Amino acid sequence: MNDLLRTRLFHELDSIRLIDPHTHIEPHAAASKTLADILGYHYYTELIHSAGMPREEIEEAGLDPKEKVRRLVERIDPLRNTFQYAWLMELARTLFDFPADEELTNGNWEALYDSSARRMAEPGWEQRVLEAAKLDAVFLTNQFDDPLEGFDTTRYVPCLRTDDLVFHLANAEVRQRLERSTNSEVSDAASLRTAVGKLFERFTSKGARACAISLPPDFSPVLSPIGPKRSEFREIANKVDSALAVMQRGLESGDTTEQHVYDGYPRVISHFVFSLLVEFCAEFRLPFDLMIGVNRNVYENGVHQGQDLYDSRVSLIQYRDLFNFYPDVTFPISVLASVTNQELVSYAWIFPNVVANGHWWYSHTPSFIERDASARLEAVPQTKQIGYYSDVYKLEFAVPKWAMYKRILAKILAEQFVVDRGWSEERAVELGRMVLRGNVERIFGAG
């Protein structure tokens, strides 16, 4: 009986039009061209590498797309139990009519490669995928110097990604990108602030709906420009001035490595820039997506985008001052490790400006999503949780990923709301609609 109930709820949820509030879609090439774009997703390359395929064979320079797919399929056996492989099969069956009773093998990959390439080359493929995924709009992840031109920003919604600004401004190339993209010189705290302000102006004028950053587990904002210690601003600005001056000298002397200035200065600048971002989020009324907990480049010889891991020992208490000092900034928060989800539930339950946001990366597997979403749905106000974002690099993946989430959501609503709490199915679907779509509209002012 519960199985039928789950199915009914899933079909209702599955009829809802969606806005995907976080992806890595490239708007000029949103859909895939060949199966190599699909199997090149880091979820496959990293798992196939982890299961034994040398990185060099996967990432060989100039490798023909078809040959790449041939190689990956040849080594895909160890992945057949994973949910990532399940996405691949659902994608192939839904979008490319891959037979329901077949697995992807050495014997049939080429037929799929060729037939899918033909489909992808048809006019309107991108639109067909958006329809299959029921997506009205898709949020992007734009580098700060992205020109944001040549695409429909109501369909592909700009978001200002700020990792480089906060963590890599000590790198001369990043400073130069900032200067060029804002047409200004960045030499001290004041000019840095001006430049960042220009970014916000440009992004919001292009319809940006969020500022976003991923943060390492040991990051704890030291808020300088405003907050209760406003009197200390001059002192901090002086430190920032010195830090930037040292960087500049490094640049002029030709030594542009981060190491040259790595004696505390980058940290000073990181915290200063982070503070600027929050300040401008308040001024421009942009939500600030915090994606908390990633350590970059842990596996140094991993494949592209398959090198990052984490330390699950992180706490939202590190963001206590941030949440207190900026009551007017909304912080949609994603956590990397499921253990932090309970803190996210509790902080969203207490702080008006904290919103629980999706299921990120290593917590983006069915058993963790079910566990984490259950805890949110029973304790966080229904208006303060964004159920899901797909995080995809190519549109096609939105189809199986959203479907996975909707099945889990249907299961939770069936078991914990309809059965355990006696809710009507209609009411359960309404809750689903709010976390799937309504909150994305209201929190980000989208749609």
Distance between CA atoms of 33 and 35, rounded to whole angstroms?
A: 7
Distance between CA atoms of 159 and 361, rounded to whole angstroms?
A: 19
Amino acid at 371: R
Is the Cβ of residue 130 or residue 412 nearer to a copy of itself in the bound state?
Answer: 412
Interface with a copy of itself, residue 51, by CB under 8 A: yes
H-run or E-run covering 156: strand 156-157
Please, what is the Cα angle at 322 between 318 and 323, to 5 degrees? Answer: 100
Distance between CA atoms of 149 and 147, rounded to whole angstroms?
A: 5
Interface with a copy of itself, residue 284, by CB under 8 A: no
- Which of 44, 310, 360, 444 contacts a copy of itself by CB under 8 A? 310
Interface with a copy of itself, residue 74, by CB under 8 A: no
Tell me the window of 43-51, 134-142, 202-210, 271-279 that interacts with a copy of itself (CB under 8 A). Answer: 43-51
Interface with a copy of itself, residue 359, by CB under 8 A: no
Q: Which of residues 402-431 bind a copy of itself (CB under 8 A)?
A: 407, 416-417, 419-421, 431
Interface with a copy of itself, residue 157, by CB under 8 A: no
Q: What share of the chain is helix, strand, coil (3-state, %, to 5)?
A: 55, 10, 35
Is the Cβ of residue 225 or residue 438 nearer to a copy of itself in the bound state?
Answer: 438
Please spell the DSSP secondary structure of 211-274, one letter per residue: EEEEE-TT------SSSTTGGGHHHHHHHHHHHHHHHHHHHHTT---TGGGTTTHHHHHHHHHH
Distance between CA atoms of 90 and 84, rounded to whole angstroms?
A: 10
The alpha carbon of residue 404 and the mean position of all alpha carbons in its chain are separated, in whole angstroms, by: 17
**N- to C-terminal Cα distance for the chain?**
36
Which residues, in sequence order, are CB contacts of 247 under 8 Å at separation 6+?
A: 169, 170, 172, 175, 261, 265
Tell me the window of 80-88, 143-151, 165-173, 181-189 that interacts with a copy of itself (CB under 8 A). Answer: 80-88
Binding mask 338-357 for a copy of itself (x = CB under 8 A): xxx-xx-xxxxxxxx-----
Is the Cβ of residue 244 or residue 409 nearer to a copy of itself in the bound state?
Answer: 409
Interface with a copy of itself, residue 8, by CB under 8 A: no
Please, what is the Cα angle at 187 between 268 and 263, to 5 degrees? Answer: 30
How far apart, in Å, are the Cα atoms of 58 and each of 52, 67, 74, 106?
11, 10, 12, 17
* CB-CB contact of 399 with 132 (8 Å): yes
From its phi and psi, is residue 93 left (phi > 0), alpha (psi between -120 and 50) or beta? Answer: alpha
**Nearest distance, CB of residue 48 and a copy of itself, angstroms:** 8
**Nearest distance, CB of residue 175 and a copy of itself, angstroms:** 29
Distance between CA atoms of 229 and 294, rounded to whole angstroms?
A: 29
Is the Cβ of residue 278 or residue 380 nearer to a copy of itself in the bound state?
Answer: 380
* CB-CB contact of 158 with 207 (8 Å): yes
- Which of 121, 190, 245, 298 contacts a copy of itself by CB under 8 A? 298
Is the Cβ of residue 239 or residue 364 nearer to a copy of itself in the bound state?
Answer: 364
Is the Cβ of residue 230 or residue 313 nearer to a copy of itself in the bound state?
Answer: 313
Residues in contact with a copy of itself, total (CB under 8 A)? 73
Interface with a copy of itself, residue 380, by CB under 8 A: yes
Interface with a copy of itself, residue 304, by CB under 8 A: no
- Which of 311, 425, 441, 447 contacts a copy of itself by CB under 8 A? 311
- Which of 16, 63, 86, 251 contacts a copy of itself by CB under 8 A? 86
Q: Which of residues 231-250 bind a copy of itself (CB under 8 A)?
A: none
Tell me the window of 24-32, 123-131, 252-260, 306-314 that interacts with a copy of itself (CB under 8 A). Answer: 306-314
Is the Cβ of residue 190 or residue 419 nearer to a copy of itself in the bound state?
Answer: 419
Distance between CA atoms of 344 and 384, rounded to whole angstroms?
A: 11
How far apart, in Å, are the Cα atoms of 310 and each of 169, 216, 219, 315?
23, 8, 12, 13
**Nearest distance, CB of residue 145 and a copy of itself, angstroms:** 30
Tell me the window of 184-192, 205-213, 315-323, 391-399 that interacts with a copy of itself (CB under 8 A). Answer: 315-323
Q: Which of residues 88-117 bind a copy of itself (CB under 8 A)?
A: none
Tell me the window of 79-87, 120-128, 173-181, 193-201 that interacts with a copy of itself (CB under 8 A). Answer: 79-87
**Nearest distance, CB of residue 197 and a copy of itself, angstroms:** 28
* CB-CB contact of 200 with 283 (8 Å): yes
Interface with a copy of itself, residue 337, by CB under 8 A: yes
